[in-house]
Amino acid sequence: MNGPGAALQPPPVVLPRPWFVRRFGGDGLLAVAVALVTLSCSTEVLQTAAYGPVDSLDCDAPGSPALPEDARFGDGTEAPSPLAGDWYGAGDGPGLYVTARDAFRVYLNGELVVESATARESAFVPLTLLPGDNALSIVADAGRGTPVVIAHWDDLDQSYGTSPDWAVSTTPEPGFAEREADVSDWSSATDYGPVGALVGCNADAFFPDGSEARWIGPPPGSSGPAAFRTVVRLAPVGFGENAHGGDTTAPVLVESWEELEAVASEPDAPAVILLGEGVHDFRTEPRDQLVCPTVCTNDATRTRYDVLGSDETCATEPVTETRTDRQLALGSNKTIVGLGRGAQIRGVSFGIGGRSNVILRNLALFDVNWHLVEAGDALTIGDTGDVWLDHLTIKWISDDFASIQTGTAGATVSWVRFDGVTEAACRGRHTFATTVTDSRVTYHHDFFDNVESHSPRVDNASTEVHLFNNLFRDNPGYAVNANCGGQALLEANTFQRVEMPTTRTTCEDETAPGLILAPEGSNFYGEDVGDHGGGDGSEPRDAVFTPDYPYDLRPPDEDWPHVFSSAGAGGRWPLSLSL
């Protein structure tokens, strides 16, 4: 991990050692290999842990493994999960590792992810989590002795794995793998040790280094098939905590602009929309836009092109440029998720106005008329509530990355990378990241990267903005501004190479100054950080609101490398963006 005073570098990423994916059986489904204990407090604990004596498992004599055909355990004819694929290999993106003694099937929310009837084989399958409950179920059957399994599940910023907190049953009811199944009468899994504990059963070299997953099974001496289950819940923290989007609606994969617009803009019907990993170029045919060219004062080789409104004039001769953006007005009760390492959506301005309960996750929003100024936001949000923006990358945008306007009753912005590096700006950095007006917004674990200001700007007296565990880097202007009575609470944030961490300004009539509270000792200031503005240069200690929701703070000097490496689409495995 980098030291607090060092230049920011990504933390080292440890990948599994070389491996290959094998295919088994006539239907060619991938086998899987797993490991890791749940690291997230958001994981639902189904049962109390139970640790039993280790059974004498003879892993060198597997017998003749076979997957059960009893419908109580699932029979392998279930629909394949659209959240699983073959988009990349182990260690190259989020996904599931699994191995068992001996045969196994894996289900996500009742849909088949993978199966193998070959003893002691390990495999990896790319797997995408959805907001809400994710029910992961594994059926294992040993050819001889006790059936045990070990699994590891990487998400965008954290990992999960088998542990004694999982539930187990040797007599499950049909439908046990469905998301809403009741397994309250199941037992707690027995812990048979970490990766490497069962000699002959392990594919040690396949599992991610440092995995905390445990071998689990029914009590020692059990035989025959067993079913295992856990639920991982992804939910927003903060003012947007009530956002659930399309909830448990069956996901639909869309591949074209027409399909996306038809489903996403429907006013109220719940929908969970999946977009495949990779680039979705939804730009329109170029159309003319009148702009005002201005040579940059700091660099005469660069010219700024401002869009001219109908009543605006230009000090120089206006010229015509082109624009290619589309507008997508989202309806209520919508979830849009990018699969795998993220869906890259090119040329679309998303609007959430007059609708509510919207979730966007694992998306890169880029190239909204990036060469122009005032020609479209990436996100325009207003007169709404229950919005969650999670693991987005926003880059090469004409205007605001996210403009959160009057009447947004509750929104959470988490793990978003606001990437401001751009050749279109006079100083090579985007000017405005996000503005919040008359709204309540929580920002946590976001990465404000090379943005000159508005990270965010907090405007007007009814505005409450809570920022915790965010990273601000390479900003020659100010990071957080509170204006005209707007209130901002800053906790456990990290600032690196920022001219002014905060600044407070007043209304145009010089009344009602903005208010900021940065509790003593809470935030971390690294190298080349200037004084706070709008006061005597010290941390602001204004009286502001108290958040009315639960949240956890991590030490900022320890947490910022995690934000650095995991914020944005793809999390720890981002795909590169290109114009």
Q: Residue type at 245?
A: G
Q: Decide if 64 is inside a domain.
A: yes
**Total number of domains constituting the chain:** 3
Indicate whether 575 belongs to any domain: no
Q: Are residues 423 and 468 in the same domain?
A: yes
pLDDT tens readout for residues 269-313: 999 999 999 999 999 999 999 999 999 998 898 999 999 988 889
Q: State the pLDDT at residue 61.
A: 62
Task: Examine residue 385 and state whether it is found in any structural domain, yes or no.
Answer: yes
Residue 44 zone, left/alpha/beta (φ > 0; ψ -120 to 50; rest): beta
Query: Is 60 exceeded by the pLDDT of residue 46?
Result: no
Task: Mark whether 301 and 270 lie in a shared domain.
Answer: no
Domain coverage including residue 316:
286-322
Q: Are residues 471 and 445 in the same domain?
A: yes
List 289's β-bridge partners, or say none: 321
- Asked if residue 2 belongs to a domain, the reply is no
- Within a domain: residue 507? yes
Q: Clarify whether residues 301 and 207 are in a common domain.
A: no
- pLDDT computed for residue 200 by the predictor: 78
The answer to the question of residue 341 being in a domain is: yes
Same domain, 444 and 343: yes
Q: Which residue has the higher pLDDT, 156 or 118?
A: 156
CATH number at residue 192: 2.60.120
User: Can you give the CATH number for the domain in which 331 is found?
Assistant: 2.160.20.10
> d(Cα 92, Cα 349) in Å, to the nearest integer?
30
Evaluate if residue 160 carries a pLDDT over 70: yes
Is the distance from CB of 340 to CB of 572 less than 8 angstroms? Answer: no
**pTM assigned to the model:** 0.90
Percent of the chain with pLDDT over 70: 89
Are residues 117 and 228 both part of a single domain? yes
Q: Are residues 155 and 107 in the same domain?
A: yes
Amino acid at 144: R
Mean pLDDT within 424-432: 89
Contacts of residue 286, defined as CB under 8 A and 6 or more positions apart, other chains included, come to 322, 323, 324
Model confidence over 58-80: pLDDT tens digits?
677 666 778 888 888 998 889 99
Same domain, 173 and 141: yes
For the stretch 515-550, what's the b/e string if a residue is b when 16 or more beta carbons lie within 10 angstroms of its beta carbon? Answer: bbbbeeebbbbbeebbebbbbeeebbebebeebeee
Query: What is the token pair recorded at 529?
Result: 């950080």
Residue 161 maps to a domain: yes
Is 33 contained in some domain?
no
Averaged pLDDT, 91-118? 93
Query: According to the model, what pLDDT value does residue 17 have?
Result: 30
Average pLDDT, the chain: 89
Q: Are 116 and 103 a contacting pair, CB within 8 Å?
A: yes
Chosen domain end from 322, 339, 373: 322
Same-domain check for residues 309 and 356: no
Residues 408 and 318 in one domain: no
- If pLDDT is split at 50, 70 and 90, which confidence band does 424 have? confident
**pLDDT of 223:** 83
Average pLDDT over residues 93-97: 97
Q: Which of 29-38, 194-203, 522-531 has the highest mean pLDDT?
A: 522-531
